[in-house]
């Protein structure tokens, strides 16, 4: 696994051994950031269920001003810090070692409005998707032109609307799908 492009392009990232973690593939991250393009520059990017931190680190590599990593699995949170240290990234990052819902509520309490929130719970943890989307939508925890991107298994169909979020795009790549949401114009 490596950083795809930007300031840290081609630099390796560490992953945890075993099957407890399924990092977003290099190809899927490349597709994601090709879609987001220059919008990432100077953004606040939240990597929710961060795992290795690869998605948030990719955002930093491509010019995000700040990345917040939310990860409740202690070894994974430690791994994110190791990956940041290996790239000598010491500013513009925060690791919230807590459950995704608690971490997002904390951001809401601080009145942070991320430009991007990437949501990627373990594929087998289907019950996590809807509560996270509901919290983001109901708390309006997103900048006005912000986007929520959900990575999920291709057999899982996510709703078109969740509270104040509306689905805008679905990109399938192999067994993985990226579903994009924004704040509803009707809200």
* pLDDT tens-digit series, residues 147-184: 999 999 999 999 999 999 999 999 999 999 999 999 99
| pLDDT tens per residue, range 51-95 | 999 999 999 999 999 999 999 999 999 999 999 999 999 999 999
How do the domains of the chain map onto residue ranges?
A: 26-183
Residue 142 in tokens: 């997103």
Protein fold of 26-183: Rossmann fold (3.40.50)
Q: State the average pLDDT over residues 26-37.
A: 94
pLDDT at 21: 54
Residue 19's pLDDT band, with cuts at 50, 70 and 90, is very low
Judge whether residue 125 has pLDDT over 80: no
pLDDT band at 39 (very low <50, low <70, confident <90, very high): very high
What string of H, E and C letters represents the secondary structure of the chain? CECCCCCCCCCECCCCCCCCCCCCCHHHHHHHHHHHHHHHCCCEEEEECCCCCHHHHHHHHCCCCEEEEECCCHHHHHHHHHHHHHCCCCCCEEEECCCHHHHHHHHHHCCCCCCEEEECCCCCCHHHHHHHHHHHHHCCCCCCCCEEEEEEECCCCCCCEECCEEEEEEEEECCEEEEEEEECCCC
In this prediction the pTM is 0.94
**Token pair listed for 124:** 């087998």
Residue 26 pLDDT grade (very low, low, confident, very high; cuts 50, 70, 90): confident
Comparing CA positions, the residue from 106, 23, 99, 94 lying closest to residue 64 is 94
Rounded to the nearest integer, the mean pLDDT of the chain is 93
pLDDT of 18 reads 59
């Amino acid at each position: 696994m490596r950083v795809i492009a930007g300031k840290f392009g081609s630099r390796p990232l560490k992953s945890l051994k075993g099957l407890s973690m399924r990092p977003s593939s290099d190809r899927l991250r490349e597709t994601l950031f090709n879609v987001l393009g220059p919008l990432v520059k100077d953004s606040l990017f939240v990597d929710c269920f961060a795992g290795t931190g690869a998605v948030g680190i990719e955002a930093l590599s491509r010019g995000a001003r700040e990345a917040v990593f939310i990860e409740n699995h202690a070894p994974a949170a430690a791994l994110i810090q190791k990956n940041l240290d290996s790239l000598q990234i010491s500013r513009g990052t925060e690791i919230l070692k807590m459950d995704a819902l608690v971490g997002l509520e904390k951001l809401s309490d601080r009145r942070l409005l991320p430009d991007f929130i990437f949501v990627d719970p373990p594929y087998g943890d289907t019950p996590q998707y809807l509560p996270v989307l509901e919290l983001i939508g109901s708390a309006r925890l997103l900048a006005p032109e912000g986007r929520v991107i959900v990575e999920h298994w291709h057999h899982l169909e996510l709703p078109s609307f969740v509270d104040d979020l509306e689905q805008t795009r679905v990109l399938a790549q192999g067994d993985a799908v990226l579903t994009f949401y924004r704040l509803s114009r009707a809200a």
